[in-house]
Amino acid sequence: MSNDNAAAYFIDRHVRDGRGGRLAFIDDRRLVTYQELSVQTALFAGALRRAGVRREARLALILLDAIEFPVAFWGALRAGVVPVPVNTMLPAEQVRYILEDCRAEAVVISASLFEHFGAMLHRLVGAVRVIIVGQAGAEAGIGFEAFIAGAEPVAEPVVVSADEIGFFLYSSGSTSAPKGVRHRHGSLRATADTFGALVLAMRADDVVFSAAKLFFAYGLGNSMTFPMAVGACAVLSAERASAAQVGVVMRRERPSVFCGVPTLYAAMVHAGLEAGAGSDRLRICTSAGEALPAHIGAAWRAATGVDIIDGVGSTEMLHIFLSNRPDAVRYGHSGVAVPGFALRLMDEDGAEIDGPGLGELWVRGPSMAEGYWNQTAKSRATFIGTWMVTGDKYSRDAEGIYTYCGRSDDLFKVSGIWVSPFEVEAALGAHQAVLEAAVIGAEDEDGLVKPRAFVVLAEGVERAGLVALLQEHVKQTIGHWKYPRWIEIVEALPKTATGKIQRYKLRQGWVG
């Protein structure tokens, strides 16, 4: 049996082939080569064995983006232990749910996060070993360095097949409790061989900086899978991404690949930052998480001279499966299937749509998850044969180009015509007075559904006369029947910890 352990491919292969001296990661304090990463992951794997953390047991990672994250993640895979990256921005009780749901036998946590999560960790049902990265009190748990000190290195990764479960990722839980998504060892390479190689054309001399953190599926691919597949380097930053912070890192590290999200790109554009300044190596940018508004992509291109490759992915598919291409960017559209993936549109009756049309998007590809942990009904509803039901509505034109229209339960009809909340949001967002917007369907006094908008204004904008101005702007931009009959100006929009707008809360009467 060949060894398809992901650690062998992404780390040891480079050492074996003479690339061990290449930089793998640069964080806020230090750097590590592929050779050093191989040694440290071997020690961490040995420490897990010494601590009695069994093969296939779950190891929760509540870590900021620093070199200890890849050491723990790949060290666990090397030992056959299943790492479970956890969103560090979740409330403590939601993190507790995840730890108990996956039955984590140990937790690796950044010391700066222990103050927020420590009390919860001590209340966990069952004994859980706590390993702390950084300074913390001795009563909190064992330090990371002390944990691996003197361990017998696991020089050769445990033998697994590509189909063995390698790690869990938890969904954002935007409308329900987070779901544990089970991914295989082989899925990591599958994303690198498709989007990483065939769309981004990752190179060994690339330096990658991802504002999306490692605990996201998107960030995991950006900062680890894609650069490590070719022996490139990734920049890690523990700080929460903001327009100013990202600009500082980009000027300091001069990445050639930058991976962001629409909200961040919008903030940087509104702040007037030229993210390319100081990074003469920048050659490509990516966006995912939500559809990128066309005006943001165009403004970014004008400021930096570099296009944003807008793509669509999911935790269940591990990374991007539908995207624009570097030589065929059409802002406002999602593009075409990434090579290696297949797409289909399904109508309301469950029949496949041939040619142009509007329907629910299904995807098939080599990185699809095994299913949800201990949630059979939801697994069967989402994973149908070799296909995954995304729950998103897309339109497809005569050229086969896909355009995002919203979640399946977000769309509504006005005068018998489907209206996409995202289209109205994009039209509002294109106005210089608007920082961001969210749109839902709401009934008027006659019981007819019309668009209702919630708008966050750009800094310094006066409200007087703005509602009528924005309504007319939407009419002129996308059509008179699509304009929002009501516009509420709010300080912020309800969002998940991953930054996605929670429109269901707006429908339930959320007040900003």
Residue 238 in domain: yes
Residue 307 in domain: yes
CATH code of the domain covering residue 213: 3.40.50.12780
Residue 175: CB atoms within 10 A of its CB come to: 12
Residue 450 in domain: yes
At residue 2, the pLDDT reads 84
d(CA 382, CA 15): 40
The full DSSP string for 460-510 is: T---TTHHHHHHHHHHHHH-GGGS-SEEEE-S---B-TTS-B-HHHHHTT-
Total residues found in the chain within this entry: 512
User: Within this chain, do residues 140 and 96 fall inside the same structural domain, yes or no?
Assistant: yes
What is this structure's pTM? 0.86
User: Within this chain, do residues 247 and 166 fall inside the same structural domain, yes or no?
Assistant: no
User: Within this chain, do residues 376 and 470 fall inside the same structural domain, yes or no?
Assistant: no
Share of the chain above pLDDT 90, in %: 72
Strands 417-419 and 434-443: unpaired
User: Within this chain, do residues 383 and 444 fall inside the same structural domain, yes or no?
Assistant: no
Residue that finishes a domain, picked among 126, 159, 188: 188
Element (H, E) at 84: strand 82-85
CATH code of the domain covering residue 448: 3.30.300.30
From the number of C-beta atoms within 10 Å of its C-beta (0-12, 13-18, 19+), residue 120 rates as: middle
User: Within this chain, do residues 179 and 210 fall inside the same structural domain, yes or no?
Assistant: no
Residue 463 in domain: yes
Q: Percentages helix, strand, coil for the chain, rounded to the nearest 5?
A: 30, 25, 40
Task: Supply the DSSP symbol for 199.
Answer: I
User: Within this chain, do residues 233 and 375 fall inside the same structural domain, yes or no?
Assistant: yes
- Residue 343 near residue 359 (C-beta atoms within 8 A): no
d(CA 479, CA 473): 10
The answer for residues whose C-beta is within 8 angstroms of residue 237's C-beta and 6 or more apart is 27, 28, 65, 209, 245, 249
Q: What residues of the chain score a pLDDT lower than 50? A: 275-278
Q: The domain containing residue 82 runs over which residues?
A: 6-17+30-188
Question: What is the distance, to the nearest Å, from the Cα of residue 253 to the centroid of all Cα atoms in its chain?
Answer: 22
Residue 352 in domain: no
Residue 147 in domain: yes
Residue 140: CB atoms within 10 A of its CB come to: 17
User: Within this chain, do residues 241 and 272 fall inside the same structural domain, yes or no?
Assistant: yes
CATH code of the domain covering residue 105: 3.40.50.980
At residue 1, the pLDDT reads 66
User: Within this chain, do residues 334 and 423 fall inside the same structural domain, yes or no?
Assistant: no
At residue 480, the pLDDT reads 79
Q: By C-alpha distance, which of 296, 55, 251 is closest to 159?
A: 55
- Residue 140 near residue 132 (C-beta atoms within 8 A): yes
Residue 402 in domain: no
Give the count of domains, the chain: 3
At residue 278, the pLDDT reads 44
d(CA 499, CA 445): 33
User: Within this chain, do residues 150 and 234 fall inside the same structural domain, yes or no?
Assistant: no
User: Within this chain, do residues 300 and 221 fall inside the same structural domain, yes or no?
Assistant: yes
User: Within this chain, do residues 289 and 313 fall inside the same structural domain, yes or no?
Assistant: yes
At residue 324, the pLDDT reads 97
Structure confidence by residue, pLDDT tens digits, 353-368: 999 999 999 999 999 9
From the number of C-beta atoms within 10 Å of its C-beta (0-12, 13-18, 19+), residue 352 rates as: exposed
Residue 313 in domain: yes
Tokens for 87? 């969103």
At residue 276, the pLDDT reads 46
User: Within this chain, do residues 330 and 386 fall inside the same structural domain, yes or no?
Assistant: yes
